[in-house]
Amino acid sequence: MSSQVPPPLPQGAGYGVVVGLGVAFALGMIWVTKTLKKTFNEDANSTETFMVANRTIGTGLTACAVISSWLYSSALLGATLLTYNYGLALGVWWGASASTMVTLMAYLAIQAKRRAPNAHTLLEIIRVRYGTSAHKLWIFLCLLNNTFVFTSMIVGSSTTVSALTGMDVIASSYLLPLGVAVYTYFGGLKATFLTDFVHTFVIMIIICWFTIKVITVNEIGSIGALFDAVVIAGKEKPVAGNYQGSYLTMRSDQCLFFGILHVTANVGAVIMDTGFWQKGFSADFAAAVPGYVLGGVASFSVPWAFGTIVGLGALALEKTAIWPTYPNAMTASEVNAGLVLPYVAQAVAGKAGAGAILLTIFMSTTSIASAQMIATSSIISFDIYGTYINPTPTNSQLLRWSHIGVIFSSLFISTLATAFHKGGVDMTWLLYMIGLLTCPGVFPTCLSLLWNRQTKNAAIIAPIVGMMCGIAVWFGTAYSYFGEITIASTGGTMPCLFATITSFLVPLPITVGISLWEREEFDWAVLGQIDRVKSDDGIASHGSNEEEGSFFTPERTKYLKRMSSWAAFWAVFTVIGHVLLWPVPMFGARMAFSKSFFIAWIVISLIWLWFTLVVAIFYPLIDGGLQQMWTVIKRKGLHQKTSESTITNSSSEQVEVTAKF
């Protein structure tokens, strides 16, 4: 993808990682799925297991899955390139856009368990409360959200793989999701959780190693030397809108604009992503809130520490002989395509660094792809087929359509990513514009679980009007700022910012106003009637829930209410801390960092990053992972002894028979 830098790795490395590791993971997860079935009777051929992992995921694995959910390849690539463009304020804003949304989702997840403990998808809740018209609208909104989130990741990842290996970018777009489709096809959501752990294990180790490697490379040498180099870069090419043109300031107009844009867009990306809801449904009732909160707080560190160190490292290294484009500067197309990270990797660690980033991009892409495939397949199977094509599906029919959904989503997203490549759309454009499509349904979705007075008409009209207004503002401001409506103009900061804010805020007064006018109240007990899918060949029931009484015991009801209060506290606390008390006051301070303050800043970010590593890698093992592994080992050992005993007894009997003759 770069006209001035040859790929540091051969094409064989690209195909080896994308295809070879994809197949290896697929085979490994097929084996794990069969082992879980034999050891714990977890049958991926059950819709309950395939879609919501039997609602038994613990706190550690939930937290790991949440962290994995924010290890987007587009996040790793985007945080570094935008820090390179605008300075260190970007990492804080990006981290805030991840952590605050997850803690908010923790509150919604526990509310979903209180209102609809047997729900399988967000859309199922919408259908039961508002009927088929709203359900069809939400199918469109959620599929639109999942499509653009998934596609933006594939566009950035395939570009990076191509730059690192010379692999054809179209081939990369199709092959990256291939292995994921195989193990997701066989393993379902439980396979997604397990691969989240494996992928996050590898990614976090590489990220922690790479941040230290950037700081200690000979051309930099220390945090203080990194500071000195970035100060010089700020004088040579000052950033418009930054305090004194410095990269080392929180007073950055572009970072503020992006922060507001990305925080708002990520609200939509999370709330309207059925994958996040399914992880909430899959978590044990005692694990949902602590898992989401812990994972959300921990996820803040990756864009902050990694984005800051690598992005500023690029500024320090681009004037040195080890920089891949030296003595030329990177072109705007190279930066917007996300090549800052691959170039830094090549500069500081040569082919080994390029290989590590290639592996990281592959891992982050496949991890998110699995979750997106499950989310999309659940909509296709449960909300389209099981509602409108065959209202009385059997478990096997739902499972078959879940498998069809996995294959379809893989092929469709790869094709759409190819169209974007051919049309000249890069990752940065998708990163900026996605919010105007993801945000219109946010307030109606939240109120469907939090306010019993939101009416059907309000829920339907609000997101439609919000999206229409957002698109109108998008095109209007693009033309006003640039005099034309093109890919370049519609990817500008201000058109995307105004459009996203419009599509986010407009639905709120509309849905509240219509609801107050119509004056209807919804009985929450109706959501409790959603039943689980039968595991046999009987009909999948949508009727009364036989387990409702046993689920809402007095002790569990009290616990869920307490967890709801804790989730609300953490959601408010995180928004206040990560947005209102951190970047906003520092933006108003009008200061550039001193060397000592910068060193402390980087050290704290690294400590937080290593804390994330502990939460993602070691906590799931402590929280039941090691015990399950030991159970598998003991069972296999017992099975082996039983087999040996059987063989021995058979041999003895044969000897006795031979002796008689």
Residue of 210 and 193 predicted with greater confidence: 210
Across residues 74-94, what is the average pLDDT? 91
CA torsion through residues 188, 194, 195, 200, sign: positive
Give percent above pLDDT 90 in the chain: 40
The superfamily CATH assigns to domain 11-40+58-531+563-643 is Sodium/glucose cotransporter (1.20.1730.10)
Q: What is the pLDDT of residues 382-407, one digit of tens each?
A: 889 888 998 888 877 877 888 888 88
Residue of 278 and 450 predicted with greater confidence: 450
Residue of 5 and 344 predicted with greater confidence: 344
| Highest mean pLDDT, choosing among 84-88, 299-303, 348-352, 620-624 | 84-88
| Highest mean pLDDT, choosing among 54-63, 350-359, 394-403, 559-568 | 350-359
| Highest mean pLDDT, choosing among 16-25, 292-301, 364-373 | 292-301
Q: What is the pLDDT of residues 537-562, one digit of tens each?
A: 444 433 334 454 555 677 777 887 88
Band of the pLDDT at 6, cuts 50, 70, 90? confident
Does the pLDDT value for residue 280 go beyond 80? no
Closest CA relative to residue 275, chosen from 46, 105, 518, 470: 105
Chain-centre distance for alpha carbon 619: 20
Closest CA relative to residue 102, chosen from 69, 148, 138: 69
- pLDDT score for 285: 65
CA torsion through residues 181, 187, 190, 194, sign: negative
Tokens matching residue 32: 């794990």
Of 270-274, 342-346, 598-602, 629-633, the range with the lowest mean pLDDT is 629-633
Band of the pLDDT at 642, cuts 50, 70, 90? very low
Phi, psi of 572 (to 5 degrees): -65, -45
- pLDDT score for 332: 85
- pLDDT score for 281: 73
Q: CA-CA-CA-CA torsion for 539, 125, 366, 21, nearest 10 degrees?
A: -20
The full set of domain ranges for the chain reads 11-40+58-531+563-643
- pLDDT score for 645: 47
Cα–Cα distance between 442 and 445 in angstroms, integer?
Answer: 5
Residue of 551 and 239 predicted with greater confidence: 239
Closest CA relative to residue 436, chosen from 465, 464, 474: 474
Residue type, 515: S
| Highest mean pLDDT, choosing among 397-406, 416-425, 558-567 | 416-425
Q: Output the CA angle 337-340-343, nearest 5 degrees.
A: 115
Does the pLDDT value for residue 100 go beyond 50? yes
Residue 121 CB-half CA count within 13 A: 32
Q: What is the pLDDT of residues 495-511, one digit of tens each?
A: 999 999 999 999 999 99
Band of the pLDDT at 535, cuts 50, 70, 90? low
Residue 70 near residue 302, CB atoms below 8 Å? yes
- pLDDT score for 4: 62
Please tell me whether the overall predicted TM-score, pTM, comes out greater than 0.85 for this model: no
Residue of 83 and 49 predicted with greater confidence: 83
Cα–Cα distance between 172 and 170 in angstroms, integer?
Answer: 5
Cα–Cα distance between 493 and 253 in angstroms, integer?
Answer: 11
Band of the pLDDT at 74, cuts 50, 70, 90? confident
Q: Which helix (H) or strand (E) holds 363?
A: helix 340-378
Across residues 198-204, what is the average pLDDT? 87
Residue 462 near residue 444, CB atoms below 8 Å? yes
Residue 364 CB-half CA count within 13 A: 29
Cα–Cα distance between 152 and 173 in angstroms, integer?
Answer: 11
Does the pLDDT value for residue 339 go beyond 90? no
- pLDDT score for 525: 87
- pLDDT score for 53: 47
Across residues 100-116, what is the average pLDDT? 83
Closest CA relative to residue 211, chosen from 226, 229, 230, 232: 226
Closest CA relative to residue 616, chosen from 307, 189, 301, 369: 301
Average pLDDT of the chain? 83
Residue with tokens 């939460």: 615
Of 210-224, 552-566, 599-613, the range with the lowest mean pLDDT is 552-566
Cα–Cα distance between 360 and 655 in angstroms, integer?
Answer: 58
Length, in residues, of the chain: 661
